[in-house]
Structure 1
Amino acid sequence: MMIPNQSFFFIFFLSVIFINTLASPTHQRDALLEFKNEFPFNASDPRAPPEAPLSSWNTSSDHCSWKGVTCNAHSSEVISLVLEYTYLNGSLKANTSLLKLHHLHHLTLYNCDLIGEIPSSLGNLFHLRHLNISDNNFLTGEIPSSIGNLSYLSYLDLSHNYLVGKIPSSLGNLSRLTVLDLSDNPRLIGEVPPSIGNLNQLKIISFYSNKLNGTIPSSFANLNKLSYLLLTGNQFSGGDLPLILSNLTSLSYFDISDNHFKSKLPSNMSGLHNLEVFRVNSNSLIGNVPTSLFTIPSLRLVSLSENQLEGPLEFGNTSLASELPYLDLASNNFNGPISESISRFLKLEFIDLSNNSFTGPIPGSMSKLVSLDDLNLSYNKLEGRVPSFLWRMSTLMLSHNSFSSFEELSQAVVNGSDSDHGSNSFQGPVQFDLGSNSLHGSLPRWICKRTSLALLDLSNNHLTGSIPSCLMNCTASLGYIILRNNNLSGFLPDIFTNATKLRSLDVSRNQLAGKLPKSLINCESMEYLNLKVNKFKDTFPSWLSSLESLSVLFLGSNAFYGPISSHLGFQSLRVIDLSNNSFNGTLPQDYFVNWREMASVGEKDGFTSSDGIDTFMEHMGGGIYEDSMDMMYKGVDTEFPLILLMFKAIDFSGNKFTGRIPKSIGMLKELRHVNFSRNAFTGSIPSSLANIKNLEALDLSHNKLSGNIPRDLANLSFVSYLDFSHNLLQGPVPRSTQFQRQHCSSFEDNLGLFGLEDICGPVHATSGDSHQSEEFSSEEAEEALSWKAAAIAFGPGVFCGLVIGYIFFTSHKQTHMVHGKARLNHPGGIISVR
């Protein structure tokens, strides 16, 4: 029988043996090998690397020399395990052998293809100071609350996974934590626990791209060592920003963009003397912007766009030189003149003040901003002359204002040799958008000096005179020429010999005349050509069919004449408008055989197509370009808003075509809009039209068509507008929901038609009264002309692109309008169309 002291020493002796066994090199090596074997390598997996991961982990070498392993120099205990880009392709087990590494200080399993859940047993690695299990896209489950037991932890990164649930409040126990990164876990929800505000050693909090909501805890005001706070891309709705921000005096990076914050900014922000980045865009912030924000000399970026901030804007008087290069205040409610004090930010390179209510002229003091290269003042109420110093920019957006004229340029500025601006003033691609102003006079010839011009938009102004031939100097780089809706006259100059990059040419709604320049055949990248509403007098330009990328061709409302070639091969054409010309002759029955794009059916006509929205956004580079289009409806050329959708359409209305409508029209199975009205077509309506299953609008009115309306047209379930009026049709009107919803006027002046009782009523259906075509009541007209817009898109580069479209007709559907513009949400950002 042992005496008590002997028992104590015996137990102590066994404990020493046990601890030494756990810490022995052999035990540490075996624990690592067990961990390796928890992830069996499957060489047949297509994602597997050429050789097995952790192949250096074997008994032929000291475990302290293995990849990612660091040991204590004296005891050989594993104190750090760092595995990055290691293909484990398995889950961490609840009893993982890592638990045997009792002295582990640092654990990183970055981008290791881990799956499953984070085991709560990791909370038993009590000596951990650094834990990084980020970038494992298939790692799911909740954040274990047991992590709150790791009292020595100073670094925690669980970002870029697929974790779910709420942030455990136990993380507020990690009193030594300096970095907390839970970002990009798109199923992480709920409110931020107030206990996080107890971690007064925190320097970095990153919670971006989750689904966190609620308010930011007021306890965040305790985090006076916080340098980075990133909350962008969540669903936060509020928080006491004045209180919190006023106390975060160490803050250098603050980003709460893309949330739903409803708050004011602090009235005094001068205490944030280390602040470099301030991003609060895309929220619902209200009130004024404190002048003190702009007096912080360390600022590098300010983004306040897409809020409800208001009032005149003053930039304050800073005694220190500002280093601010980036200023974005777009889409707010700022008013009054642009302050002359903006010139104090001499390092500014980017300014966006668009979509506000700024008034008056552009301040002359901005000429001091010699580094400014990108300026967007569009959608304001600015007026006066466009200052000459702006032409040194590479991106100049001044559209939708009230500018009246161009200030004359000195020859030095035109040649790019102004001593104030350096010799590189005109280097790189240049984009000028001055559309929708009140500009008068002729196109300034100095534009021709910008040989790297990529976009020129002077549409919707009052410009006169001719298009200068010297634009040939720019056409080698030009991707977009948009001069629509002016008073330009003369000929379209023959300037396109080197225009191989030109993707869009829009000179519609001018007074241009003569023939089309044959040099257009060199525009091998051309996708969109709009010559509508001019005075062009020429035969049909069949030679344009050699442009393999041409998708949209608008020649309507000109003086084109003569027959159309029967050998067309517009393989990429999606939309063609030949309306209101003097084209004549017959169309062969096989006329549409080679129009392959309109006949194609497949993924490429949807939003996942290679030539659809992905290409559009890629070309746009994340920017937007706004446009609208017009098409004929009931003899009225009308402009409509556009939404980014794909469609295909044909409009041959208002010409002198004779003979039968080609039966090959039925081969164009992807058509949405067909208009052959106001011609002299004869014969029967081709039954092949019933093959166009997605047809939404069909207008065959004002012809000499005879016979019956094909019964199979009743099966066109998407049709919302039909017009067979003013023909020689006879027989029964097909019975279907689509036909019954049409107005009586869609069938008028066809004395042989019968079965109209359900559409016109018994009196009108039998009387033959010529007055049965009375105008719609205002209520009926409003319903019949509710539009659903569809469009095809093309994009040029940053802040470029083109959206065009056509209209088909629906009931009780309206394009959602915001401030006169239709808007469509998209992952690349907001796309606006007018």
Structure 2
Amino acid sequence: MGYQLLWVVVMFTFMTLGGGKGSTAGEVGNPNDLMGLRSFKAGIRSDTSGRLKTWVGSNCCKWAGISCDNTTGRVTELRLPGFISTEEAPIQTSMEGWLSPSITLLTSLEVIDLSEQGDISGEIPPLIGFCLPKLKKLYLLRNNLSGQVPESIGKLSNLEELFLQENNFSGFLPSSLGNLKSLTRLSLYSNQFSGTIPDSVTNLTKLVSLDLHSNSLTGHIPEKIGELQVLQELDLSNNRLSGKLPISLTNLTAISSILLDGNYLEGEIPFPSAPGKMPSLGFLGLQNNRLTGRIPDAFGYLVSLQRLNLANNGLKGAVPSSLGNLSALRELYLNGNQLSGKLPKSLGQLSQLMLLTISHNLIEGSLPRELSSLQGLQTLDMSFNRLKLTSIPDWVFKMPSLGQIFMAGCGIQGKIPEILQAMPSLLQELDLSVNHLTGSIPAWIGSLTELYSLNLSRNALVSKIPDTITNLHALGMLDLHSNKLTGSVNQVFKIGRSYAAGPLSYIDLSDNSFSSGFEKIGGTQLGIQLLNLSHNFLKGRIPSSIGGFRSMQSLDLSYNGFGFNLPGSLGNVSSLETLKLQKNQFTGIIPHGLLKLKKLKELDLSDNLLEGEIPAGKPLSDFPKNSYSGNRGLCGKPLAPCKV
């Protein structure tokens, strides 16, 4: 309160001294404007853009980022965004320092843009509403500002856009926000606001976009929010809002985007109530909540929907056939619910559909052939339902745009479908895990040259990995765990060898019967982040070249027959967070180089033949005794002290 009173006195002093009077444009700027800008500059310690270096002399209207009224000579715009567009290329600059409250001396300001500077700290001046009556746009997004939004903000009757997202603001949202009758866009996401959403925001009848996601807001959605007739985007995701959506939300007649995901909203979906409601609703996201009941048949009235996301709730019952009326729908997310029954044939009418994911539900029966009409479908995910397909219908592989197929846990039997190699589209992702596939991985798998992700885990595949797998230069994820594969793993480490590091970052070959190949990894695939070769019959030593895998975060070689000394080069894998080498035959001492693994969170060296003193220091001394148990020759913290 004393701070606010001080600034009232300061502003009154300047006004009574005549400093607030306008002056014609010339070589000397308005005294208040000059003082406010110089105080702002004084609070900034560094400016990588170099714009503040131009702030010399007394004609502030010629300074970089400053615009003035030609008649009065008063500063009307302060534009110093961190992201600058140039003729050559956009560049990101930054300012570090403190936002001076003296910025409120510029009483004719219409625009303040200090967005995306990153390191500007301080608070919004508490008197901003009293001092800047002409302000139309306030952009302070992506900085390090904190404190509360002052109640005086409601005095900015001309404010049209308020962007404060991605800062450290906290406290309650002021009820005075409802006085901003000219406001069209309000963006406060990714802060630490708490309390309820004030009912007064429903007074903002010109509001087009309201974004409050990723805060700590609680309570109910204001019931009259449905009266915001021109609202196009509403994002309240990732808060702790509770309760049901109010029935009045159905009164939104020009909304084109509602995103309420992550709020832990509960109860049934109460809208739309009748035809003609929400005719412009383009994006509806209710994912990651606790919504229950059925998907309303009335959803078929939302004829402008392009994206519908109801994922990860508790919805039950059948998928309503009325969804087939959504002729503009491009993306449909129904995954992670308890939906049951058969898929309606009407989904084949969604001619614009590009993505369909209904995984992790209780859907049964066969896939309706009408889905083959979806000529633009790019992603189909039917994983983990009760389909029991036995085989994938041939028409799936004939869809002209399909590039991602996810059919894990669908009861598929027999060999990997040969028709995959004749698909009209370029297959990018294939997940046939947790099925009953038998036979070997076919040599023609190497013809799928655009494949980025291949998951054939938890099947009954046998024999060796074909040499042709090295043709999959785009492969980034390979998961073959829990099969009956044999032979060498060396082919996998040749994938993408023609590239500097190769795109492959995730390899899981665990729970098979591989017996060789790891000792030949050389310096290939340096971009691997996860490597799991556990529960195989691999032998020999860990090659010293393992130290070149600087991106690796998880290495699991447990339950094999590896032996010899641990290579000291393991200490060079600086990104390593998980190292599991238990149940092998490693001998010798633990290398001191492992003390360099500062990011290590999980370590298991148990049940080997290691000896000597455990290197003293973090992180090795922080792990429990069972990380080292079963090595009779080891001593030192956390085990018993070594005998002198």
| Shorter-chain TM-score above 0.5 | yes
Structure 2: how far apart are the matches of 1:673 and 1:190?
45
Residue identity matched to 2:237 = S
Within 5 Å, give how 1:212-227 maps onto structure 2. Answer: 212-227=193-208
In the alignment, structure 1 residue 466 sits paired with structure 2 residue 461? no
Structure 2: how far apart are the matches of 1:260 and 1:469?
49
Q: CA deviation at 1:674?
A: 1.6
Alignment match of 1:712 (pick from 613, 633, 638): 613
* Matched position secondary structure for 1:668: helix
Alignment match of 2:258 (pick from 258, 261, 278): 278
Alignment match of 1:696 (pick from 603, 607, 612): 603
Cα deviations across residues 341-387 of structure 1 (Å, max 9, x unaligned)? Answer: 22232211111122222111111222222212212212222111112
Are the counterparts in 2 of residues 442 and 464 from structure 1 also a CA contact under 8 Å? yes
Are the counterparts in 1 of residues 49 and 94 from structure 2 also a CA contact under 8 Å? no
- Give the aligned partner of residue 662 of structure 1: 564
Alignment match of 2:441 (pick from 492, 508, 511): 492
Within 5 Å, give how 1:599-638 maps onto structure 2. Answer: 604-605=551-552
Structure 2: how far apart are the matches of 1:496 and 1:188?
53
Q: Which moved more, 1:346-355 or 1:194-203?
A: 194-203
Closer/same/farther in 2, CA of residues 373 and 141 from structure 1, 3 Å limit: same
Are the counterparts in 1 of residues 190 and 214 from structure 2 also a CA contact under 8 Å? yes
- Give the aligned partner of residue 47 of structure 1: 48
Closer/same/farther in 2, CA of residues 686 and 447 from structure 1, 3 Å limit: farther
Alignment match of 1:287 (pick from 262, 267, 271): 267
Structure 2: how far apart are the matches of 1:534 and 1:25?
80
- Give the aligned partner of residue 98 of structure 2: 116
Structure 2: how far apart are the matches of 1:118 and 1:293?
51
Cα deviations across residues 169-223 of structure 1 (Å, max 9, x unaligned)? Answer: 223344x334251522522211122233344554443333322211122333444
Residue identity matched to 2:382 = L
* Matched position secondary structure for 1:269: helix
Are the counterparts in 1 of residues 312 and 336 from structure 2 also a CA contact under 8 Å? yes
* Matched position secondary structure for 1:205: strand
Are the counterparts in 2 of residues 221 and 247 from structure 1 also a CA contact under 8 Å? yes
Taking structure 2 as the reference length, the TM-score comes to: 0.76
Structure number with greater Rg is 1
- Give the aligned partner of residue 468 of structure 2: 519
- Aligned positions, number: 586
In the alignment, structure 1 residue 673 sits paired with structure 2 residue 626? no
- Give the aligned partner of residue 557 of structure 2: 650
Structure 1: how far apart are the matches of 2:345 and 2:76?
61
Structure 2: how far apart are the matches of 1:592 and 1:578?
16
- Give the aligned partner of residue 183 of structure 1: 164
Cα RMSD (Å):
4.5
Closer/same/farther in 2, CA of residues 512 and 345 from structure 1, 3 Å limit: closer
Residue identity matched to 1:140 = S
* Matched position secondary structure for 2:261: coil
Closer/same/farther in 2, CA of residues 720 and 352 from structure 1, 3 Å limit: farther
Structure 1: how far apart are the matches of 2:523 and 2:122?
54
Q: Name the % identity.
A: 23
Closer/same/farther in 2, CA of residues 647 and 134 from structure 1, 3 Å limit: same
Structure 2: how far apart are the matches of 1:511 and 1:305?
35
Closer/same/farther in 2, CA of residues 521 and 719 from structure 1, 3 Å limit: farther
- Give the aligned partner of residue 321 of structure 2: 340
Within 5 Å, give how 1:426-825 maps onto structure 2. Answer: 430-438=378-386, 439-449=388-398, 454-473=403-422, 477-526=426-475, 528-536=477-485, 539-540=487-488, 542-547=490-495, 548=497, 549=502, 568-569=521-522, 571-572=524-525, 575=531, 577=533, 579-581=535-537, 587=540, 592-597=543-548, 604-605=551-552, 646-651=553-558, 653=560, 661-663=563-565, 665-669=567-571, 672-675=579-582, 677=584, 685-688=587-590, 692=594, 696-700=603-607, 710-713=611-614, 716-717=620-621, 718=623, 720-721=625-626, 734-736=634-636, 738-739=638-639
Taking structure 1 as the reference length, the TM-score comes to: 0.60
In the alignment, structure 1 residue 77 sits paired with structure 2 residue 57? no
Are the counterparts in 2 of residues 203 and 226 from structure 1 also a CA contact under 8 Å? yes
Structure 1: how far apart are the matches of 2:340 and 2:564?
56
Structure 1: how far apart are the matches of 2:37 and 2:105?
21
- Give the aligned partner of residue 259 of structure 1: 239
- Give the aligned partner of residue 322 of structure 1: 303
Structure 2: how far apart are the matches of 1:557 and 1:204?
54
Structure 1: how far apart are the matches of 2:180 and 2:66?
30
Closer/same/farther in 2, CA of residues 382 and 159 from structure 1, 3 Å limit: same
Structure 2: how far apart are the matches of 1:551 and 1:46?
38
Alignment match of 1:164 (pick from 117, 123, 146): 146
Structure 2: how far apart are the matches of 1:212 and 1:156?
21
- Give the aligned partner of residue 769 of structure 1: none
In the alignment, structure 1 residue 298 sits paired with structure 2 residue 280? yes
Closer/same/farther in 2, CA of residues 591 and 302 from structure 1, 3 Å limit: closer
Structure 1: how far apart are the matches of 2:19 and 2:511?
93
Residue identity matched to 1:281 = D
Are the counterparts in 1 of residues 294 and 318 from structure 2 also a CA contact under 8 Å? yes
Within 5 Å, give how 1:68-147 maps onto structure 2. Answer: 69-72=67-70, 76-79=71-74, 81-85=76-80, 113=95, 115-120=97-102, 122=104, 125=107, 128=108, 130-135=110-115, 136-147=117-128
Structure 1: how far apart are the matches of 2:395 and 2:349?
22
Structure 2: how far apart are the matches of 1:568 and 1:220?
61
Closer/same/farther in 2, CA of residues 25 and 226 from structure 1, 3 Å limit: closer
Q: CA deviation at 1:532?
A: 4.6
Cα deviations across residues 62-112 of structure 1 (Å, max 9, x unaligned)? Answer: 97999964545xxx422554353489xxxxxxxxxxxxxxxxxxxxxxx99
Are the counterparts in 2 of residues 508 and 531 from structure 1 also a CA contact under 8 Å? yes
Q: CA deviation at 1:168?
A: 1.9
Structure 2: how far apart are the matches of 1:485 and 1:286?
33
* Matched position secondary structure for 1:346: coil
Residue identity matched to 2:390 = G
Are the counterparts in 1 of residues 482 and 511 from structure 2 also a CA contact under 8 Å? yes
Q: CA deviation at 1:268?
A: 3.7
Q: CA deviation at 1:49?
A: 5.0
Q: Which moved more, 1:709-718 or 1:259-268?
A: 709-718
Structure 2: how far apart are the matches of 1:63 and 1:530?
62
Q: CA deviation at 1:283?
A: 0.6
Closer/same/farther in 2, CA of residues 516 and 339 from structure 1, 3 Å limit: closer
Structure 2: how far apart are the matches of 1:527 and 1:301?
31
- Give the aligned partner of residue 801 of structure 1: none
Are the counterparts in 2 of residues 488 and 512 from structure 1 also a CA contact under 8 Å? yes
Q: CA deviation at 1:302?
A: 1.4
Structure 2: how far apart are the matches of 1:130 and 1:723?
66
* Matched position secondary structure for 1:441: coil
